[in-house]
Amino acid sequence: MCFRTVITYASSVYAHSAPTVLDSLQVIQNKFCRAATDAHRCVRNSILHRDLELPIISQYMKDASKRFFDIAGSHLNALLRAAVDYGPPPSTHYIRRQRKLQDPFTGEEIVKPKVNGELQLRGPGVFKGYFNNAKATNETFTDDGWFRTGDLFFRDEDLNFYFVERFKLLLKYRNHQPSSLFVNSQIAPLELENVIRSHPGVLDVAVAGVPDAECGDLPVACVVRRPGHRLTAQQVKDLVRENLADTKQLRGGVIFLDQLPFTASMKLNRKKINELILSSIRE
């Protein structure tokens, strides 16, 4: 019996599990299924019948994953009848590697929830370094073996980690206060992109910064209109103003493009985006 096939066949059940988890369960479960190979053919063909419990997978679905959803009803077999909504996914503390969040500016470990920091990893599952590139390896790893991912995360009280943005993509905006002081703010382009992308007239969007001598990076939105929509720059700005803080407004303007530039590997071409921002008319 193939666990992966069962999950695929049961179209009313959705499993959010890594392939390695499914593979591990398959190996264990096969030991239980072999006991039925000498049974009558009708039994083998009915291996999913409710009278033939498959304990490993059933227990996994109850206790380990808690990310299965049964939206069909009682007709599902014993393997799947425990697949109900158990709420949010469990904590990631079971991952077999050390991980922590570190302030990229002060180097101090972040121990409080809902505070952004660079995710750092250490353990047997982390790669050892770059081949024949000692400089890159030294820049990527700390002296005590922590791998700097370059990704900003925050965690909740249950030790679930949430991606924020690549650290190198953060925009640095210097906000002028009435006290004649400048307050440095970090702006995650992804946060602005998610807000702008929620507009029905937006097909795609990329946010980057235009340099400003006084204020640092001014956010600019490169927007691809959805066909048939007559989206204006002011509508995009109003959407951001309604949903985000004053420091995250589109002070650099809005640029409308026919399509966003991508690399050969289908990644957003940030270098080309920056060139377009400097050479295009911003509204």
Tokens representing 267 are 């990644």
* H/E stretch holding 117: strand 117-122
The pLDDT of residue 243 is 94
Nearest CA-CA partner of 54 in 74, 82, 73, 75: 82
Return the pLDDT at 252.
Answer: 92
Q: Tens of pLDDT along 90-129? A: 554 445 568 889 887 788 898 888 888 889 898 888 888 8
Structure tokens belonging to residue 31: 């030991």
Neighbours of 238 (CB within 10 A): 13
Give 241-256 pLDDT, tens digit per residue. 999 998 899 999 999 9
Please give the pLDDT value at position 183.
59
Rg (CA), the chain: 25
pLDDT, tens digit, 9 for 90 and up, residues 40-86:
544 444 444 444 455 655 665 565 555 444 433 333 333 333 344 44
Task: Kindly report the average pLDDT of the chain as a whole number.
Answer: 73
Which structural domains are found in the chain, ordered by start? Answer: 3-70 (no CATH), 92-167 (2.30.38.10), 170-279 (3.30.300.30)
Report the share of the chain in percent with pLDDT over 90: 22
pLDDT digits (tens, 9 = 90+) for 3-35: 444 444 443 333 444 455 555 555 655 655 554
| Burial (0-12, 13-18, 19+ Cβ within 10 Å), 263 | exposed
Q: What pLDDT does 257 receive?
A: 93
